[in-house]
Structure 1
Amino acid sequence: MIRNPFPGPQPYRAADRARFFGRDALSRKLANQVLARPATTVFGPSGAGKSSLMEAGVLPALEDSDGLRVVRVDAWPGDKAPLPWLGAAMFDMLSLGALPENRSPLEALEDAIDLAERRSDRPILIYLDQVEQLFVSEHSEEEMNALLQGLDGLIQARHQDLHLVLAIREDYLGRLRDWTREQAELSAHSFRVGPLSVGEMVKAMCRTAAEGEPAQRWDDGEIRALMLDVRVPGQSKTDAAEVQTAFGQIVCRALWQERVAGVAVEVQGADAEAILQRYLDATIEGLSGLQEGARRLLEEHLIDEEGQRRLLTEKEARLVLPVQEAAEVLGRLERAAVLHAAEHQGSRYFELGHDWLAKKVFERRLARKREEAEKRRLTEEAVRRRTRRTIAVSYVLVLAAFALTVGWGVQALRATSRDAQLLRAGYVPLLLRIGEVLAEQNVFSAQLNHITTATDPSDMREWLETARRTRPLAFSIVKDAARSLAAADGKVDGGDAGVGQAAASSGVRRFSEEIAAEVTAIERFVSANPERFSQLFQALTVGNRELAERTRDELVKREVEGAWRLWAIKSRVEEQMESLTVEARRREDRGLVLLVILALLTLTVGVMTSLYARRRLGPLRATRGG
C-alpha cells in the first residue's frame, strides 16, 4: 500500500494528526487562548498553516481534553448568504435535526445554540475558516451585516462555554477589523500564526516522510536546501528564515511521490518550483485522454483573469467537463491534492488546493496562450509565403497568357476591370448600406415588438423615437449609395464605352434609379401614420394594454413588411453582383478557348513553316552534297 504522508496544498485534517509535526507548542498556546476568550481571530500569511494548526492541532486537542463540540465552516460560496449558511452548518454538525421553517436566519442561529445547550453541557466551538472569502464574494451589505449581528449576538449573550474562532489571511485583517468596528470584541483578541522557520520545517518534513507508506528516510541537509529555496522572499538564507509552508508541503509531497516511483532526484540541485511544475504536469499527463477537460477546468474556471482562485460547485464543475469524464477527472484531481473539495448539506464545492497551485496553473495558462500565439504566427507566415508564391506564379502565367492573347486580352482586361471597379465602388457600398438599414429595421421591429412587456417603456419609447428621427438619414444614405452606383458606372466607362458597354451602363443607371425609387417608397411606407406611435405610447402611459398591443401589432406588421421589402432589394443587388461574377467566369472560359485555338494555330504554323523550310532547303542541301 502506498500512502503519501504529505497533504500537499491541502491543509492537515484531524485524520492527519499523527503526522502533524512542528506545531505542538503553538497548538497548546492557541488552544489555551481559545478557551480563555469568547472570540479569537487567528490570522497569518496565506499558506502559513492556519487551517492545519486548527484542524490537526487545536481542534482535536480541545475535543479530547475538554469534550468540545465543533462546528466548522471552511468555505463561503458567493451564491449563499453567510448567516443562513452558518445556521445550516450548526444544525447539521451539532445533529440538531432539520433547520426550522418560518424562522429568520438570526432566530435559527439562536435556536441552534439554545437547542444544543439543552441537549448537552459540552462546550461548543464555532470555527469559521477562510473568512477572507466573505470580502471577495458578491455578498450584499445587508447579508454581511446580518452575519455580523449573528456573531455578535453569540458572544454577547454569554452562552455557557461557547467559543468563536475566526481564521483569516493576514492581508484581510484590516478589513475584518473595519467590518467589526462596532462589535469590537469579535476581533479584539487575535493570534498570529507565522510560517515555520527553515530549521523547524526541515525537522517536521523529515519526521513526516518517515510516517509514509513505505517510510522514507530523508537527509536533513538535502531538505534544508529545498526549504531555503521556498523561504519567504527577502529573508536571509539561514535556518531562521520563514518558509512558505504550503509551498514547502507541495514540494515535499511531489518529492516523496517521485522517490516512490523510482525517479532519481538530486535534491541539492533541485529547484522547488521545478518540482512543483513536474508534479502538476505529471498529474495532468496521468489523466491521459482526460487531459483536455482537466486543463479547461483548471485554467479557465478555477482561476480568474488575475490568477486568483475561484470556488466552483460540483454541479458547475460537472457542466464544464464531458458527462462521461466528470466523475473521474474530479476524483483524480482531488486525490492528487490539486483540488480541494468541501461538502456541506449535500453540496460539494471545489477550488484549487492553494494559492501557490493557482500560481502554477496561471503560469501554464499564460504559457499555453503564448504557445498558441506563436503557432498562429508561424501558420500565418507560412500562409503568407505560399500566397506570395501563388501570386508570383499566377502573375507569370497571366503575363504569358497576355503575351499570347494580347489583342483579345486587352479587351477582356478592360471589361473585367470595369466590372471589378463597379463592384467595389458601386455595388458593394450599396449592399453594405442596404444591409445596415435592414439590420436597423430588424432591431427596430424587435424593440417595438417587446415594448408592451418592457419594465420601463419610457426608456424603450425614447430609443424608438430616436430611431425614427434618424431613420430618414439612414434611408438617405442608401439612396445616395444607389445614385453613387450610376456615378461609379459613369466613371468606369470614362466616356470611352463601346456599344455593349453603353447598353450595360444604361442598365446600371436604370437599376440604380429603380433601387432609389423603391427605397423612397419603403421610407414613405414605414413613416406613414406617425400618429399610430403616439397612440401606442399614450396607451402604454394610461395602462390600456389591449389597445397598446393592438397598435403595436399593426406597427410591427408595417415594420416587418418594410424589412421584407428591404431584403428583396438586397437580394436584387446580390443577383446583379452574381450576374457580373457569372459573366466574368464566361469571359474566362472564352479566353481559355481562344488560348487553345491560338496554341493549335501556333503549332500548326510552326509545323507548316518547318515543312516548308525543309522542302525548300532540302534540294539546296542535296545539291551541295553532290
Structure 2
Amino acid sequence: MLGVPKVPFRGIQPFRYADHAIFLAREEETEELEDLVAIYRGVLLYGASGDGKSSLINAGLLPAVARRRLRPERIRLQPRAGEEIVVERIATTEDDDEGEHLPSLLAPDGDSSRIVMSVHEFEQRIRETCASSQRPLLIFDQFEELVTLFEEAGAIEVQRAVVAMLVGLLREPLAVKLLFVFREDYLGKIKHLLAAVPELVDQFLRLQPLSVDTLPTIIRGPFERHPGHFARELDPALAERLCAALHERFVSGDVSLSEVETVALRLWQCDDPDALLTRLGVQGLLEGYLSDSLDRLSPDVRGAAIALLAQMVTSGGTRNVVSADDLVHHARKENPELSPTLLAEALDHLERESRLIRRERRRNIHLYEITSEFLVPWIRARREEARLLRERERDELRREQEHSAARQQRRNVALRLIAAALVVVATVIAVLLVVAINQSNEASRQAADSTSLALTSAATPLLHSRPDLSLLLAWAAYRKSPRVEARGSVLDALTAVRASGVVGILHGHSASISSVAFSADRHTIASAGKDQSIRLWDARTSKLLGSPLRGHNAAVNGVAFSPDGRTLASGGDDARVRLWDVRTHRQLGSLRHEDAVYSVAFSADGRTLASAGLHGTVRLWDARTHKQLRSLGGREGYVYSVAFSADGRTLASAGEDPTVRLWDVRTRRLLGQLRGHEGAVYSVAFSPDEETLASAGADGTVRLWDARTHKPRGSLRGHGFVRSVAFSADGLTLASAGDDHTVRLWDTRTHKPLGALSRGHRSAILSVTFSPDGHTLVTAGDDETVRLWDTSIPPALRGHRGAVNGVAFSPDGRTLASAGEDKTARLWDARTRSPLRSPLRGHDGPVLGVAFSSDGRTLATVDDQTVRLWNAGTQKALGSPVRLDNMSDTAAFSEDGSSLALGRGDGTVRLWDVRTRGSQGTLPGFRGPVTSVALSPGGRTLASAGTDKKIRLWDTRSHRPLGPPLRGHQDYVYGMAFSSDGRMLASVGGDETVRLWDVRTQRPLWQLRGHKGPVVSVAFSADGRTLASGGDDSTIRLWDVRGHRQLGSPLRGHRDSVSAVAFTRDGRTLASASRDGTIRLWDRILWRDRDQLRGEVCRLVGGDLSTSELARYAPGIPYRRSCG
C-alpha cells in the first residue's frame, strides 16, 4: 500500500510513483488511460512537452494498473545493436536512490535499477512471461527517441528490427499490453513507423494542459485528503489568494503544473507564507526558486550557468532553442574567462539536477531550451546586469588608460620641476605621511564595512530556512564591522533561533544520529550515530566532553545511561552491546549479540540491562558482571525498541510487526500483546507513574495504553511517520518525533496537542528524550545534529483579565511588575515566568502604572485617583493609599520610583513625592487633556504632552518650563521616555513616528519611521544605545540610537496594541505589555560587548561556520573561525 509523501508539493520535479497520494486534478485522465489500457493491446499517449505525461504514468497509471493485476515495465530505446532495449526499474520510495523498486518480470532476481538487453532477448523474455500467465504492461517512455536517436545515428536497420518486434507483439495473441508515450509533434512519424498496426491511431489519449479550475484542488487537495499528515499546511484563505494570483498569471486558462507546484512548495516551506506571497508575488517566488537552485553551486559554476541561460533567451524576451556548440561558443564569446569544462559542468547541473533546461537530440545535434517561460524575466535581468558590468569594466579600463597617459605627462613635467621642489620635500613628506595613514585607516574601514555588508546580505535569505547558519554569518558580519545593518541582522537571527525553541545545537557527528540520552544529574547528553561514534556533551554549555567514544565497527543505534549516570550502554550494527565509563570514556565490556542491536535500556535500579535488535529476541544482562541472565522470545522480525517500567518489573518491546509486547522481567512470562498499530512500531516508553505506555509507529500514530489492563487509552495523530516517544518527568507531557522534521508535544491527560517544535531539524528526527527535570527536550536526527529545546518557558505571561497597561523590572531584573485594566497589579518571577503569589488588589479603577524603588523593596502602583505602596517581598500594602485630588488620565514614575507625575484632563500635571506621600506642586501648560508624561531618571526634568501635539519640558524644582515647546508630531503624543543620562528624550505618537530630542538644546535629533499605525509606548536601554517602541500594529521595534535606524525585523507575538515596554538594567531582557492581556519577555536581545555576544551565538549554534558554507554563501571573503 502506497503511503503519503512527507512533502505535499513536487515543485519543478515530475511526480513519482510514491507521490500517488498527492497527484491530484488528473483523476479523469488516469481513469481514461487505465480503461484504454484494459481494453486495447496497444495505446498511444501523447501531448505537448511539459504537460505532465511522465507524471500521469508514474503517479496515476502505475498505482492504478496494480488493481488489474498488470505488471508494468518502463522501457527506453537506444540505437545500439545488441543493446536496443533499456528497462528502467520503477522506484517505489520517495528517495529514488534507496534501491526499492517494483518487481520486474524481466529481471526477477536482479537489484539493478537499469537493465540493458537486445531486441531478440527482450522479445524472448516477454513471450516466456506471457506463457507463465503473467500480464506485462510495457510502457515505452519518450518513444519519440525511436525517431530522433535512431535516425540521427544512422541506425535504420536497428530501428526496423525494433518496429518489427513491436508489431509482432501486438499482432500475436499474447497477454501483453503496450503503451507508447511521446511528444505530440512526433505523432506523424510514429504513425508512419507503426503503420502495420493502423488501429493504434484510434486508441489514444491526448493529454491537455490543466485548466485554472483545477487550481484549488492542486493547492488545497493534499491537506484536505490527508488532514494532519503534513508538518504544516497552506490555509484556505492563503490558497484563495494564491488561486486569484495564478488566475491572473494564466490568462489563457491553461495551467503550468510545474509553476503551480513550485510556488505552492515555496510557500509551504516558509514560516510566514502570507507575508512571502505579499512581498514577492508569484513571479518573485518562481524567480526565488531559480536563484536558490543556482545558489547551491560554487560561484564559478553559478556564473557559467547564468551565462548559458542567457543564451537561451532572445533579445525580444522569448525562449531560444540553441545547440550545445552554439551555447558554449556564445557564452565564451561574452565571457572569455569561462572554460569549456566549467560550462559543461554548469550545463549538466541545469539539465540533470535543477531541471531548469531540457535537452533534445535532432539530426545528431543536442539542442537545449529552458523548461518554462517563468524563467525568462529573471534570465533577462541577469543578462542585463552582466552586460552593464562588462560595459562598466570597459569604461573603467578606458578611463584608466586615459588616466595613465595623463599621469605619464604629469610625470614628465614633474621631473623637470624636481630640482626646485627639493627645498620643501621634508615638509611635504611629513604632511603626506599623516594623510597616508588616514587614507590607509579609511581604506581598512571601508573594506571592513564592505565585508560586513556582504556577510549581512548572505545571512538575511537564510533567516527562516537555516536560522543557525544565518546567525553565524550575521555574527561574522558584526565582528568584522559592528554596523547597524550587522547589528540588526544578528538580532533577527537570534530572534529566529530562539523563536524556534532551540537553546542549543550540537555539531560533531558526520552521519545520521540514531539515539540520544540524558544522564540523571541533567549534566550530560549522549548521542549515537551512524558514523560509528558516541559523543558526550555538557548539557549546560553545549560543548563536547572529551573525545568521541569509539569501539563499534558499524553504525551505533542506541544509547542509555545507567540510573547513577556512571555507565553508558550502546548497541550497534556490529552485533555488540558495549558498556562505557562515563567519566574516563573507557570501555568496560562488550556483550555479544547474533546480529545488529537496535535498542538498549537499564532497569531503574541499574542492575539489569536489556538489549534487542535484528535477531528478534530481547536479551537481559547483569549490568555488573556482564553475563546474560535470560532472553525473551516470541517476536517475529526485528525489535526496534525496549523500555523498562519505573519499578523494573515489566519490560515493553516493539518492532517490525505491529504488536507491542509486555514481559514479566523476573519470570520471563509474556504479560500481554497490545495490538492497534498498522505497521512497524519504532518506539515505546512508560510514564513515570507506570500507569501508561506510549508507542509510536510507521502508521503515523502515537498510541497510549493502560499499562496494567493493556487496554487502549487513545490515539494521537499529527505526524506522518513517528520514530520516537518520551514522557516528561511529571508524566503530564508526551513528546513524539517523526520523519516530518517536527517534535509534537501532547497533554497526556486530555490527549490534546500542546504545540509543535518545527523550526529546527532539516530532516527526519530519529530520537527524542526529556531531561530529568522536564525543562529541556533533546532531539537528534538525519541532519547530523543534536538540538536542545527549552520546554519550560511559555510564550507569554497570562494572568490579567483585560489589557495590561504597564510593566517595570526590579533593579536586579529578577522580578517583573505589571499593571492591568482589571484593577490589579501582579508580580512575576522573570526567570521562571511564573506569578509570585496572588495579584495585588485594592485599586478601584484600572492600574495605570507601576514602579520599583531604587533598592527594589517597594513597589508603587497608581490608578486614576490613588497611589498605593507595597512591600515587594511580602506583597503586602504599606500604609493606606494616597488619595489624589483629581482624576488622572496618564501617570509616570521616576526611574527609582520616588517621584510620580500625573497628567490630568484639565491640562495640568501634578507632581507627588511617593516616599513622603506629599504633593510637590502642579504644572500648568495645556488647554486640553494631558496625553503623556515622563520623568527623567533623577526626577529633575519632566516632559509632558497634550492634545496640541506639543511637548513641554519642565524643571521639577522650580516648576518653570525649560525653553519653548518641542514641535514636530502631527498627531497626539502617546508615550515618552528619557535616556538614562537624561540627555535625550524619545517621544511616540499617532503620526506613526518615533522622535528623538536633545533635552539641553530642545532641538529635534532624528525621526524614525517603521510602525504601521500609532506608536504608543517607548523605552531606552540602560546604555542609551537602543530604543524600543510598541505600537497599535501589535509589534515592538528596536532602534539603533546612534545610527538612528531600525534594528532587525519587528518583534511579533502580540495580537493587539503594545501598551508598554521596559528593559532590564543590563539591557538583556525586554518586557512588553499589550491590550491583548499578555506580557511577553524577549530574552538576550542586546549584548554588553562582543565577547558576550560571541558566547551567546556559539552557545545557541553549537558549531562553527565551515569553509564550504562561507564559500557558498559569501564567496571571496577570507575564512575566520566564528566560535573556535
- TM-score, length of structure 1 as denominator length: 0.49
- TM-score, length of structure 2 as denominator length: 0.28
More strand, by proportion: 2
More helix, by proportion: 1
* Structure with larger RCO (C-alpha < 8 A, sep 6+): 1
